[in-house]
Amino acid sequence: MRLLIIGGLQGQIGAATKIAMDRGAKVTHATDIEQAMASLRGGVGADLVLCDVKCDIAQLVRALAAERICTPVVACGIGTDARSAVDAIRAGAKEYLPLPPDPELIAAVLSAVADESHQMVYEDEAMNAVISLADQVAGSEASILITGESGTGKEVMARYIHRKSARADKPFISVNCAAIPENLLESELFGHEKGAFTGAIARRVGKFEEANGGTLLLDEISEMDARLQAKLLRAIQEREIDRVGGTKPVKVDIRIIATSNRDLADAVKRGTFREDLLYRLNVVNLRLPSLRERPKDILALARHFAHKYAEANGAPFRPLASVTERLLISHPWKGNVRELENTIHRAVLLAQGPEIAPEAIRLPDGTQVGAGNSVMSNMPAPVKAAVEAASAIATRGLVGRTVADVERDLILDTLDHCLGNRTHAANILGISIRTLRNKLREYGQAGLAVPQPGEARAAG
């Protein structure tokens, strides 16, 4: 993490700097706001700005916004002077850090403000294949195109490749091409000279130069207009860029990773994306499967997020109940990993008791995931149970799974829906009670949770 500290380095801020460096932050220092802005324009870059409350925080926040430098600001000052803390937050600081510095607090601020937990969690075979391809090409200089539905982890993958590359200790810079207005994207990427256009108050180095030696992630590349596509192509081919209003090209050494959740080949056909640029970017294509295509990752990720959000919220860790796990597996997850992550975050906050129960698994509007619709609620209970068990399995997809695997899910889901009643479940499944009992004993011995009579079922 790159930390920019503004203020005198004597005394307590100096001590805070040392703690941050011990925690692995790369620290640059500016004595005042002007010097800080000059260093940011010059391409030093920062993930977090720590500013003495004695400086004019509001002016700093305005200056950053005016030049579209989106770096969070944390104010720091001696003691817990409530007045200056409140003023700093009002002025736009994200946090207030009291001095003398508490190492734990600094570590917490560093990790909370600039979330560095870009850990890649995976277990499913479908993901193993993508990861081994990523591992294979990470060390090369090849441009990589990462595609996949929204929320499948394209940015997580880009950071993973950077970490595994020879450029790991150089900057990883990401630019969201869809989020920046078209007329500003050029200067954002390539920088500008003083006076290049109205508002260009000083020379500003662009993301290409800021990322020099490292990796540049061009997020949602399909949103780039034709003129910029041409300029990007030149930058990749010639390894040099032209600042807006600049007179001579600047050499850059960049590894490009691009992402898109649109089909770029299709965009080429429609004439909105340059074919030669696509070939340049798409030396290697990593397609991230949707979460629905990697059912084993659902649980691996859900467990990971249950830990992560318990810790982040200072809540006790609660494991997912086994009925909850089965409910999660059967949900369609249209928003992919992001939707799962938000759902588990909510569940961690809603959960009571020793485990995360299915009731805590809610949609954003508060309704319970898996709650039956009205057609279903009019069905006789055994029919409804069978339909639900079968549909839970259907949504999971059958291809690629073994018969034993599917059979186990069908039996356990049906038993769940019958509140653990063996006789009902055997009737619905069309097998004898003896066969059912034998199967259940097998599952119990394999360490699976088998619903006991009267036990609450997964979905309503």
Ligand X SMILES: Nc1ncnc2c1ncn2[C@@H]1O[C@H](COP(=O)(O)OP(=O)(O)OP(=O)(O)O)[C@@H](O)[C@H]1O
Interface residues with ligand X (CB under 6 A)?
Answer: 119-122, 148, 150-156, 261, 301, 337-338, 341
Closer residue to ligand X in complex, CB, 122/333: 122
**What is the closest distance, in whole angstroms, from the C-beta atom of residue 220 to Mg ion in the complex?**
7
Cβ proximity to ligand X, 5 vs 361, nearer residue? 361
Least CB distance from residue 123 to ligand X, whole Å? 10
The interface partner of residue 87, options being Mg ion, ligand X, none and the CB cut-off 5 to 8 Å by kind, is none
Q: Which residue is nearest to ligand X (CB)?
A: 153
Choose between 17 and 152: whose C-beta lies nearer to ligand X. 152
Contact residues for Mg ion (CB under 5 A)?
154-155
Residue 2 near residue 26, CB atoms below 8 Å: yes
Q: How far is the CB of 153 from ligand X (least distance, A)?
A: 3
Beta bridge partners of 97: 76
Question: CB-wise, 239 or 334, nearer to ligand X?
Answer: 334
Taking each helix axis as running N to C, give the angle between helix 103-113 and helix 11-22, from 0 to 180 degrees, rounded to the nearest 10. Answer: 60
For residue 253, the minimal CB distance to ligand X (Å) is: 25
Whole-number minimum distance, CB 446 to Mg ion, in Å? 39
The 3-state secondary structure of 64-124, one letter per residue: HHHCCCCCCEEEEEECCCHHHHHHHHHCCCCEEEEECCCHHHHHHHHHHHCCCCCCCCCCC
Question: In whole angstroms, what is the distance from residue 329 CA to residue 332 CA?
Answer: 8
CB closer to Mg ion, 152 vs 330: 152
User: Residue 119 binds what, of Mg ion, ligand X, none (CB under 5 to 8 Å, by partner type)?
Assistant: ligand X
Nearest approach in angstroms of CB 148 to ligand X is 6
User: ∠ CA(414), CA(420), CA(421), 5° rounding?
Assistant: 95
Least distance from ligand X to the Cβ atom of residue 341, Å: 5
Q: Write out the two tokens for 407.
A: 């059979």
**Lookup result for tokens 């195109």:** 145
